[in-house]
């Protein structure tokens, strides 16, 4: 029997949810911190009354895709390859290798595919991606064979794609399970949310976060694994991560602690802005080669705004952030700052969709922050 391609042979094209230097979530063997969700999925499958569609929801980078692929392997594995009471499937099994290679005939993954011509990812999942469902679900299978459809991420479906998916969810074929992954389930059509069973995953506590990060570094290349966080770095990484494995890896790999310090220095000076420092950031982050740091910049920036809004609204958080929130926001400007968070996210999405100038976006964001702080 021919073996599935090795990992290095199947990772030829970039994947939107894979961090450079680290394995894709489908290559990750264990999930940490979500044991209750695993038990729920395993028990539902063992009961013979499996719900046909699940929404795996939660913050970015906490293991949603890892759990979805882990469950897909379990569903698609031969009964003898499953371990009752767990979702374990050994790496040497056919199901594990085929899911890893995206070559299993019972698996369809709907996602933003890399555009080789444009050398970029589309801003959303187009309807043509979802139309592949018709052929996939129309294939004849053995009576006892299962099929799994993973939508990663469901909140990235454009409206036409979402409506096309809805049709399949309304009339699901037998022995087929849909796994919709989403970090923003509120963006999904209400009609889609009404047809799925939601599995909410919480951010990871420090110990499972440490285990998951250790697993990721152990599975990375030697050059990456040799640069794993030191004990002195770990405390800051864990605090900034928000319980997200991806955030820890991204912060560390992209020198995110230094980037965080630069952003904090600029923002702490509001309403005065160090425009020299802002221009330097814009120059560094505007090229396509700086994709990872550019994305991390906006994650750190929007998290900073969200924490300040929360500190002003609830009086919760770090004492220094509470004091800064009172100085910059105050009760009268709370709505303005909450709207600013949404505006930044919308402008970033528009810049990606229209391939606009990244530096101009960064300058505009700080202009908005300056205006909000002076209002």
Q: In total, how many domains does the chain have?
A: 2
Q: What is the pLDDT of residue 62?
A: 97
101 and 20 part of one domain: yes
Question: Which of 79-93, 224-238, 356-370 shows the lowest per-residue confidence on average (mean pLDDT)?
Answer: 224-238
Q: What is the pLDDT of residue 223?
A: 53
Residue finishing a domain among 155, 183, 200? 200
- CA 148 to CA 104: how far, in whole Å? 10
For residue 181, the surrounding DSSP H or E stretch is strand 176-182
26 and 173 part of one domain: yes
Position 227 in a domain: no
Position 248 in a domain: no
Q: pLDDT tens digit string along 223-278? A: 565 577 888 889 899 989 999 999 999 898 888 899 999 999 999 999 999 999 99
Q: pLDDT tens digit string along 122-173? A: 889 999 999 999 999 988 777 789 999 999 999 999 999 999 999 999 988 8
State which residues form the domain around 295.
254-374
Neighbours of 198 (CB within 10 A): 12
Position 323 in a domain: yes
Position 72 in a domain: yes
> 4 vs 82, which has greater pLDDT?
82
Q: ∠ at Cα 58 (53, 62), nearest 5°?
A: 115
Average model confidence (pLDDT) for the chain?
90
258 and 365 part of one domain: yes
Q: What is the pLDDT of residue 225?
A: 55
- pTM here is 0.85
177 and 274 part of one domain: no
> 108 vs 222, which has greater pLDDT?
108
261 and 171 part of one domain: no
Q: pLDDT tens digit string along 45-79? A: 999 889 999 999 999 999 999 999 999 999 999 99
Instruction: Report the half-sphere exposure of 346 (CA within 13 A, side-chain side).
Output: 6
Tell me the average pLDDT across 350-364.
Answer: 92
Position 181 in a domain: yes
User: Contact 215/244 with Cβ under 8 angstroms?
Assistant: no
Q: Report DSSP letters for 89-153, one per residue.
A: --TTSHHHHHHHTT--TTEEEEE---BTTTTB--SSB-HHHHHHHHHHHHS---TT--EEEEEET
Residues of the chain with pLDDT > 70, as a percent, come to: 95
Q: What is the pLDDT of residue 11?
A: 44
SS3 244: coil
Q: What is the pLDDT of residue 366?
A: 96
Question: Which of 23-27, 81-85, 131-135, 159-163 shows the lowest per-residue confidence on average (mean pLDDT)?
Answer: 81-85
Please determine, for residue 334, whether its predicted confidence score (pLDDT) is greater than 80.
yes
Please determine, for residue 3, whether its predicted confidence score (pLDDT) is greater than 50.
no
Position 80 in a domain: yes
The residue among 156, 149, 146 whose CA lies nearest residue 133 is 149
- CA 298 to CA 321: how far, in whole Å? 19
Position 292 in a domain: yes
Q: pLDDT tens digit string along 176-213? A: 999 999 999 999 999 999 999 999 999 999 999 999 99
Q: pLDDT tens digit string along 90-122? A: 999 999 999 999 999 999 999 998 888 877 888
194 and 260 part of one domain: no
Confidence of residue 10 (pLDDT cuts 50, 70, 90): very low
Confidence of residue 289 (pLDDT cuts 50, 70, 90): confident
Position 222 in a domain: no
Instruction: Report the half-sphere exposure of 269 (CA within 13 A, side-chain side).
Output: 12
């Amino acid at each position: 029997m021919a073996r599935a391609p090795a990992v290095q042979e199947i990772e030829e094209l970039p994947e939107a949810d894979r961090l450079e230097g680290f394995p894709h979530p489908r290559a990750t063997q264990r999930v940490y911190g979500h044991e209750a969700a695993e038990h729920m999925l395993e028990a539902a499958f063992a009961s013979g009354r499996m719900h046909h569609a699940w929404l795996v929801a939660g913050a970015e980078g906490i293991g949603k895709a890892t759990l979805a692929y882990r469950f897909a392997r379990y569903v698609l594995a031969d009964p003898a390859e499953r371990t009752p009471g767990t979702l374990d499937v050994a790496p040497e099994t056919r199901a594990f290798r085929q899911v890893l290679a995206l070559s299993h005939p019972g698996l369809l993954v709907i996602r933003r595919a890399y555009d080789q011509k444009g050398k970029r990812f589309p801003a959303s999942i187009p309807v043509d991606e979802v139309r592949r469902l018709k052929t996939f679900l129309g294939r004849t299978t053995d009576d006892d064979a299962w099929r799994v459809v993973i939508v990663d991420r469901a909140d990235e479906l454009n409206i036409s794609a979402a409506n096309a998916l809805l049709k399949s969810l309304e009339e699901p074929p037998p022995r087929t399970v849909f796994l919709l992954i989403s970090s923003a389930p509120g963006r999904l059509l209400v009609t889609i949310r009404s047809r799925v069973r939601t599995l909410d995953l919480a951010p990871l506590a420090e110990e499972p976060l440490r285990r998951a990060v250790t697993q990721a570094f152990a599975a990375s290349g030697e050059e990456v694994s040799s640069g794993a966080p030191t004990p002195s770095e770990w405390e800051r990484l864990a605090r900034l991560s928000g319980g997200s494995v991806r955030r820890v890896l991204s912060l560390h790999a992209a020198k995110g602690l230094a980037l965080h310090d630069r952003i904090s220095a600029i923002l702490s000076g509001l309403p005065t802005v160090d425009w020299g420092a802002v221009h330097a950031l814009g120059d560094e982050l505007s090229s396509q080669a700086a994709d990872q740091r550019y994305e991390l910049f906006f994650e750190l920036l929007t998290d900073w705004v969200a924490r300040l809004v929360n500190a002003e609204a609830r009086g919760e958080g770090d004492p220094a952030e509470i004091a800064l929130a009172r100085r910059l926001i105050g009760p009268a400007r709370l709505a303005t700052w909450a709207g600013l968070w949404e505006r930044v996210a919308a402008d970033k999405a528009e810049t990606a969709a229209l391939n606009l100038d990244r530096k101009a976006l960064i300058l505009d964001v700080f202009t908005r922050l300056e205006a909000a702080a002076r209002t």
